[in-house]
Amino acid sequence: MPEIAFVNGEFMDLSDARVSVEDRGFQFGDGVYEVVRCYHGVPFALEEHLRRLERSASGIELGIPEETRRLGELAVEALRRSQIAEAVLYMQVTRGWAPRNHAFPEAAKPTVVITVRPAKPAPPDRAALGVSVITVPDERWLRCDIKSTDLLPNVMAKQKAVRAGAFEAVMIRDGAYVTEGASTNVFAVKDDAVYTAPEGPRILSGITRAIVLGLAREHGMPVVEEFFTPEFLARADEAFITSTTLEVVPCVRVDGRPMGDGRPGPLTHVLASAYSAEVTKRTA
Ligand SMILES: Cc1ncc(COP(=O)(O)O)c(C=O)c1O
């Protein structure tokens, strides 16, 4: 099964894919991206991802070229060529190639990249045992709603988690409230209600987050989209994180201390199962 790339109008083997060293994505992180999980050859929530990519592109004043408009079709074609059934589809659009200069280049054409690679299967005990997280300061800019390729603060945060032997870094803005994880949205469950940070410039509006909140409401769980403190998270009955590639992952320790009873919680389990059922329903 070949790992496929699409770069500026051509499909090729991923190992042959190249962009210029003067690409602004490489020089400045001047680009936007999406990650789509594909289940048995069907991209999940592709429309939602394409809409967010358009919002991100418009957030950095990146004109959408014809190719980007056709990105959905190109992504499906890349997936078909790869023949990878359980795949991660990556799409990136940068402001293109130009001699290095901070201001927007006058004539550059956006670089469009798509890659298809096999999805990593989740370790079998992750859902049953849950994961540990640590808290770190949120040092990002105030347009976290834009899914920008400029991920340095997220990279630094994730590395702190790895060094601490934790799975995810939960970011705390101004020492006061939880925003999200380095590559996930963060949820706390208290008295059977589901809490998560509100949409806006301080978080990425996760596609998985939106689906999980919809499922929570369908299951009659009150949903509270408000910021909460790190202390609230530490004292929550349950906690979990979500993302396209991870789906719903229970968190059982924060900064080395057990959360709830130190085991994945029942509502987290309900939502994780409901999410799997939603995936099956939409990709059948
Ligand atoms: C900072 C951040 N928050 C949240 C998410 C989860 O978003 P989604 O559910 O759309 O994958 C991601 C995904 O990569 C992310 O990078």
pLDDT tens per residue, range 16-25: 999 999 999 9
pLDDT at 64 over 80: no
Instruction: Assess whether the C-beta atom of 132 lies below 6 angstroms from ligand 1.
Output: no
Query: pLDDT value at position 42?
Result: 97
Query: pLDDT value at position 204?
Result: 99
Query: pLDDT value at position 8?
Result: 87
pLDDT tens for each residue of 125-181: 999 999 999 999 999 999 999 999 999 999 999 999 999 999 999 999 999 999 999
pLDDT tens for each residue of 70-89: 999 999 999 999 999 999 99
Q: Which of 33, 244, 279 to mutate to test the pocket of ligand 1 (most atoms within 8 A of CB)?
A: 244
DSSP H or E run through 141: none
Query: pLDDT value at position 23?
Result: 98
Q: CB atoms < 10 A from the CB of 40, how many? A: 11
Map residue 79 onto helix, strand or coil.
Answer: helix
Which residues, listed in sequence order, are joined to residue 243 by a DSSP beta bridge? 247
The CA distance from 177 to 87, in Å, is 35
What dihedral do alpha carbons 10, 12, 17, 18 form, nearest 10°?
A: -30
What dihedral do alpha carbons 255, 245, 24, 110 form, nearest 10°?
A: -150
The CA distance from 163 to 27, in Å, is 28
| Token couple for 62 | 């990146």
Indicate the DSSP class of residue 91: E
- Residue 247 burial (C-beta neighbours within 10 Å; 0-12, 13-18, 19+): buried
- Average per-residue pLDDT for the chain: 96
Query: pLDDT value at position 66?
Result: 77
Q: CB atoms < 10 A from the CB of 241, how many? A: 27
| Token couple for 59 | 């957030």
Query: pLDDT value at position 60?
Result: 97
Q: Which of 36, 92, 183, 245 to mutate to test the pocket of ligand 1 (most atoms within 8 A of CB)?
A: 183
Q: Which domains does the chain have, with CATH numbers?
A: 4-118 (3.30.470.10), 126-283 (3.20.10.10)
Instruction: Assess whether the C-beta atom of 207 lies below 6 angstroms from ligand 1.
Output: yes
Closest residue (by CA) to atom 3 of ligand 1?
Answer: 184
**Catalytic annotation present for 160:** no
Q: What does the pLDDT average to over 11-33?
A: 97
| Token couple for 265 | 């919680």
Map residue 151 onto helix, strand or coil.
Answer: coil
Q: What does the pLDDT average to over 195-216?
A: 98
pLDDT at 49 over 80: yes
Query: pLDDT value at position 2?
Result: 82
